[in-house]
Amino acid sequence: MNKNQLAITAFVIVAILAIDQWVKYYIKTHFYIGEEINVMGEWFKLHFTENYGMAYGLEFGGKTGKMFLTLFRIFAVCGIGYYIIHLIKKGAHTLYVVSWTMICAGALGNIIDSVFYGVIFGYDEWFHGRVVDMLYFPVIRTNFPLWFPIWKGEDFEFFRPVFNIADASISVGFILILIFQKKFFKDETESNQEEITENSVVEEKNPE
């Protein structure tokens, strides 16, 4: 197992979780729901909101859906963790390992909210905590033109969803995989070919 990759993986997980949970705790204890302050003009704000659902404030089926989603996240993180260990053992590209680690750490960050926050902050039971969101980037605010079909004249805002560090970590991880997938899978193919070649050489030297 590559010890350097293992150390990098541990560092990334700890760093993302520490930043994510510190920011969430600060927002939770210093802001009231709906409070908003400008960080960089009108296009980057801190806006405190909470949700029961998925990333970027999406909702999913009330309390039953919340329990299902939390359990699904836990199983998914276990699966991703196993896959990361598999990648490290295979000697996969470091950035590929880091990308999946960012996804895993982001999922863990939101799981902590979902499992513990309801009890820690005294508003609900285990596994029914609300995910804390605060990052808001309304970069573009305008209206659809009157000639535009369906939404003519309605408000348009980009980027509307409010999210958190954990959501951003998951998104960046997936974006890195999409951008560099050719390199990642090329390296994996070459690694597999080298392994096959080495096995063939060993079999030729040691025939039955």
Residues carrying an active site annotation: 133, 167
The Cα–Cα gap between 164 and 132 comes to 7
- Inter-residue contact 55 to 163 (CB < 8 Å): yes
List the alpha helices (DSSP H) in the chain.
3-30, 62-90, 94-112, 118-120, 165-205
The CA R_g of the chain, rounded to the nearest whole Å, is 22
Q: What angle do helix axes 94-112 and 62-90 make, rounded to 10 degrees?
A: 150
